[in-house]
Amino acid sequence: MAISLIYMARPIYGGWVTFTAHLCLKYDCNLFKIGKRTEKNQRDYGYGVKYHNVKIHELIQKDNLVITAVDKHYYEHLQKFPDGTSVVIHDPTELKGKNNELVKHLSRFKIIVIRETMKQHLLDKYQIESQFFPHPLYEYPKIQESNSYYSVSLSRIDFDKHTDLILRANQLIQEEGKKIQIFGAENRLYVHHKLKELDFETYWKGKYPKTLPLQYDGKDLLNNCKFVVDMSIIKGDGGGTQYTFLEAIYHDCALILHYEWVQHGTTFMNGHNCYVVGGPRGDGEPFVSVGQQIADIINSPLDESYSQIIRNSKELLKTHTDVQWFQ
């Protein structure tokens, strides 16, 4: 059956965008955005995906509608969608705000979540049942030409991504060639208030093109990379996967994650399928900053325990490559 995906949000980078692309590519869906007029020609969405701008009254007539993301700029259109329309909600921040229109429509939509923590959050706070599906991973072909980055960060540069911790780690990483190179779209307010004293501009490479695989200067960003560092902490969320995690594992990179993320689930385990920093210290253990913990991991030589983490993390991918979102 033909699935019609609708992207109803302003961001052109980040998890919403990547998720929509993987869903579209994996299941050969049609992608639409709401436009002032219906256009004949397709536009470039990124990641090898095309989309159509379509008037809202035409869009709601299509079968098998799935809204892959929605923000406040599109709330006015929610009331026009029929009951039972599928809507993906990614994290609790999408439901914040006193007059959040999405919350008002939850009970009449079919809600899909991509982390089990979000499923519980909807039930506890809104008494809304939802269906959980893991992130779909489209197994894109890799390219041979590789960059030479030892460690990277691929997340947005923002408050909830805690890029400042990564930059503090760079101050403590001994070899220049091992320092964490930072890629992604930036929140300029966050950069101004949190990063300007931490040599952000030295390590920030800018936004990477929306391609699969991720590329920089026409070379595969992750092929030879050893570590992907992600310090995401989202209140009320965590435990599961993000696309930066999946892409890292897909390319045989070890993940360094924050305890505040992994503690919410059982997917990631320190020393088994990732490295975890920022956790509670045992009795008598001296305090070690998160930056120092990251640096200690990257400063250490790669050994069999590193190789085992890579092998164990690969076991997670099957869930995301085999998942069937649409029957």
Which CATH number characterizes residue 212's domain? 3.40.50.2000
DSSP assignment string, 127-164? ----EE-PPP---PPP-S-B---SEEE-S-BSGGGTHH
Residue 264 placed within a domain: yes
* Amino acid 201: pLDDT: 95
Q: Would you call 220 helix, strand, or coil by DSSP? A: strand
* Amino acid 239: pLDDT: 86
59 Cβ contact partners less than 8 Å away, ≥ 6 residues apart? 4, 6, 32, 34, 65
What is the tens place of the pLDDT at every residue in 79-101? Answer: 999 999 999 999 999 998 878 99
Residue 327 clears pLDDT 80, i.e. is over it: no
Question: Distance from first CA to last CA of the chain, Å, rounded?
Answer: 8
**CATH code, 126:** 3.40.50
The secondary structure of residue 208, as a DSSP letter, is P
CA distance 183 to 286: 33
Domain containing residue 265? 151-322
* Amino acid 208: pLDDT: 87
Residue 181 clears pLDDT 80, i.e. is over it: yes
Q: Tell the residue number behind the tokens 């902490």, with chain if given.
A: 233
Is-cis flag, bond preceding 209, omega within 30? no
Out of 44-53, 267-276, 279-288, which region has the weakest mean confidence (pLDDT)? 279-288
Q: What angle do CA 114, 231, 256 make, to 5 degrees?
A: 95
Choose the most confident range, by mean pLDDT, from 115-129, 132-146, 228-242, 296-310. Answer: 296-310
Mean confidence (pLDDT) of the chain:
94
Percent of the chain with pLDDT over 70: 100
Q: What angle do CA 236, 237, 243 make, to 5 degrees?
A: 160
Out of 165-174, 198-207, 237-246, which region has the weakest mean confidence (pLDDT)? 237-246
Query: Longest Cα pair distance anywhere in the chain, in angstroms?
Result: 68
Tell whether 127 and 156 lie within a shared domain.
no
Average pLDDT, stretch 109-136?
A: 95
Tell whether 69 and 174 lie within a shared domain.
no
Tell whether 164 and 277 lie within a shared domain.
yes
Comparing CA positions, the residue from 244, 264, 267, 262 lying closest to residue 254 is: 244
Tell whether 172 and 234 lie within a shared domain.
yes
Percent of the chain with pLDDT over 90: 86
Residue 184: C-alpha distances to residues 108, 149, 153, 174 (Å): 36, 15, 8, 24
Tell whether 170 and 315 lie within a shared domain.
yes
User: 0.85 exceeded by the pTM?
Assistant: yes
Q: How many domains does the chain have?
A: 2
**Entry field: residues in the chain:** 327
